Amino acid sequence: MVLSVGTGYLFSVGATFFFEGQQFYEAASVLLVFILLGHWLEMRARAGASAAIRALLNLAPPKAIVVRDGKEIEVATADVVLGDIVVLRPGNKLPVDGEVIEGESTIDESMLTGESMPVTKKVGDAVIGATINKSGTLRYRSTKVGADTALAQIVKLVQEAQNSKAPAQLLADRASQWLVLAAIVVGLATFVVWFWWLGQPLLFALTLTITVFVIACPDALGLATPMAVMVGTGLGASNGILFKNAAALEEATKLNVIVFDKTGTLTMGQPKVVETVPAPGVSPDEVLQIAAAVDQGSDHPLAVAIVERAKGLEIPKVSGFLNIEGKGASAVIGGDQVFLGNRRLMDEQKIDLLALGEKAEALKGEGRTVIHVARSGNLLGLIAIADAPRPTAVGTIKKLHEQGVRVAMLTGDNAGTAKRIAGILGIDIVLADVLPGQKAEKIKELQGQGLKVGMVGDGVNDAPALTQADVGFAIGAGTDVAIESADIVLMKSDPYDVVGAMTLSRATLRKMHQNLWWAVGYNVVAFPLAAGVFYPFLLSPEIAALAMSGSSALVAVNALLLKRTRLEGIRPAAASTAASAAHEQPTGAPA
């Protein structure tokens, strides 16, 4: 740009004051107008690509009510300090992260975690800034403010990803440098050939030289990948998929094996009652009623699973509750002695399992925990408990298979349990009996077979494996260590978002390639056209400026079209915006 406008302007100054010749003032001015128009269109496109960051920033409320010197006062959210007591009323957005110290309420965390159901919060529970208080009044102590809040960290991740360079961008940058050098060489060669060799007038030769300088501006090449990265990472953020850098976006397209840590990713990470087997003449509800009566009030994971399954049933009163360490529990219901526990407890109490003994062994062989329920010396039935698969796990694996990606499961469970779950979900590779410290080694073994491996995990012991993998996916509800070690964070804690992340990565890479091919193709055609190779068909500098600006605008618009594309597991930008609007603060609610 400096070469083209500068050459025309300096020649015009010389023609005005020092020698006779054609003046280019008008052409240089029009050229600048077209160049500035192109940059304005480019900036508009960039602003559209950054809409995701603005939407995230708008989630935080501008004001907060805090208690200072015993009085409730309203301050700007930026003025809330660590340790402040924040007062939260129904309909308010939480200004900062903290810990509840008074009251109980339900919080809508969907805008950050994707969880559609409001979460009950009581004293001692952590709360996240930018979420919405739905019902009760809370007071909580701020534990993270300013740049340390969960929302601020998410915004930081998105900004860093949008500003990072994909490997393809490094190639484009080098190509741009060579293109500038080629423009100078071709421009000077054009002048030499037309003026000295072919003997054309100075004005003609200089016009063609300026045209070459203008049309060869590497704007389109420089925009080709950054615009696609900005749109892709922004679209991911609005769908709860956070790419930490552009390299992760590109690497995800190369994966041919995805390894899932079983607990908490493919499964719920919480025991659930999966089957109730009553004895002859006994109903399943009766088995659950008796078991829930004994277990109510216990915080043991198996007890919690039974009580949850019995919700809605009438639970009888119990007395004489006794915990039997390592075996189960006993209690008295309606004057009858009830025992609830494992096979050892039944054997000690000399309770005949009858035909259910074989069924109990079969359930254990499938990797399920079996609870025996007995009353007055007779077995009422069995309750099978297992870590249930996530609702979207089967769909996730099916879609990954459709994309040509194999799926592996990593677990510390025995081979029998692991194969049962793998059979239900349709998993290709089972890595069972793996100790926490061996997970990274298993990833390395797969990589040693020439495979590109992605790892999905949520726990502290997954961190080394997430780091070792070519691309690490952290479940958002997991630990900070896992999230720190991963390349992509799935905020909704839904394994199906792995499909969304990979689909979005591939779509973004396609846009990069389309833009790069267009930018390269444009310059291949533009150079000879501008240099007068197709004489008498010639381009003026003004038309060249329009072509250059149009090329840059086309690249930007093509990248923005990604926001309107329907992708598996990804909502288009318009739908994401509408969903976000649905969670906005209710009209009239105080901030």
Catalytic residues: 261
Which residues lie below 8 Å from residue 395, measured CB to CB, with a gap of 6+?
496
Name which of 76, 138, 144 is nearest 103 in CA terms: 138
Cis peptide before 280 (omega within 30 of 0): no
* Three-state helix/strand/coil letters over 61-81: CCEEEEEECCEEEEEEHHHCC
Q: What b-and-e string marks burial along 139-160, b requiring 16 or more CB atoms within 10 Å of the CB?
A: bbebebbeeebbbbbbbebbee
- Going from the C-alpha of 142 to that of each of 2, 78, 222, the distances in angstroms are 53, 12, 44
Structure tokens at 517: 């091919």
CA distance 572 to 564: 5
- Going from the C-alpha of 343 to that of each of 297, 350, 508, the distances in angstroms are 23, 10, 56
Cβ(227)–Cβ(172) below 8 Å: no
Structure tokens at 287: 């088995």
Q: Which amino acid is at 59?
A: L
Helix (H, G, I), strand (E, B), or coil: what is residue 29? helix
Cβ(131)–Cβ(109) below 8 Å: yes
CA distance 18 to 303: 97
Cα 303 from chain centroid (whole Å): 34
| CA distance from start to end of the chain | 50
Q: Does the CA dihedral 154-158-163-169 come out positive or negative?
A: positive
Backbone angles phi, psi at 5, to 5 degrees: -65, -40
CA distance 526 to 521: 8
Q: Are strands 406-410 and 138-144 parallel, antiparallel or unpaired?
A: unpaired
User: 478-485, long-range: CB within 8 Å, 24+ apart, which pairs?
Assistant: 478/264, 482/457, 482/458
Cis peptide before 62 (omega within 30 of 0): no
Name which of 419, 444, 449, 448 is nearest 431 in CA terms: 419
Angle between helices 284-295 and 301-309 in degrees, nearest 10: 130
Name which of 411, 471, 405, 403 is nearest 439 in CA terms: 411
Q: How many CB atoms lie within 10 A of CB 45?
A: 22
Structure tokens at 205: 């030769």
